[in-house]
């Protein structure tokens, strides 16, 4: 084995965990990039309407007005049929 080959093998052996994490990260970026055009049902039903409304009303400046069709206080005070609790008020409130 040549001297440079030995150095490469030693480097890989010392840094196998870092190289593994870099490989997994690279794979995750490739998979994410491949799915960049995918539009899920959640995105279609919930997000795209709000996004279009924001874009039509001047971008970030439109956020000074209410964009959604819900009342924010109801998120914490209304009963949830999923959890059966009488209130969703945080305990610190």
CA atoms within 13 A on the CB side of 76: 7
Q: How far apart are CA 65 and CA 14, in angstroms?
A: 56
DSSP 69: S
69 vs 31, more confident: 31
78 vs 42, more confident: 42
Residues 88 and 78: beta-carbon distance below 8 Å: yes
The reported pLDDT for the residue numbered 7 is 92
**86: pLDDT strictly greater than 60:** no
Q: For residue 80, which of 69, 89, 71 has the smallest C-alpha distance?
A: 89
The reported pLDDT for the residue numbered 25 is 97
The widest CA-to-CA distance across the chain, in whole angstroms, is 73
CA atoms within 13 A on the CB side of 7: 3
pLDDT digits (tens, 9 = 90+) for 15-54: 999 999 999 999 999 999 999 888 888 888 878 888 888 8
Q: For residue 12, which of 24, 20, 2 has the smallest C-alpha distance?
A: 20
**Global model pTM greater than 0.75:** no
């Amino acid at each position: 084995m040549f001297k440079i080959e030995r150095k490469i093998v030693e480097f890989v052996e010392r840094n196998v965990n870092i190289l593994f994490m870099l490989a997994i990260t690279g794979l995750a970026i490739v998979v994410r990039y491949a799915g960049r055009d995918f539009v899920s049902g959640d995105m279609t039903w919930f997000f795209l309407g709000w996004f279009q409304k924001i874009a039509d009303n001047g971008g970030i400046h439109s956020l000074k007005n209410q964009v959604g069709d819900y009342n924010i206080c109801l998120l914490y005070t209304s009963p949830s049929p999923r959890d059966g609790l009488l209130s969703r008020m945080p305990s610190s409130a």
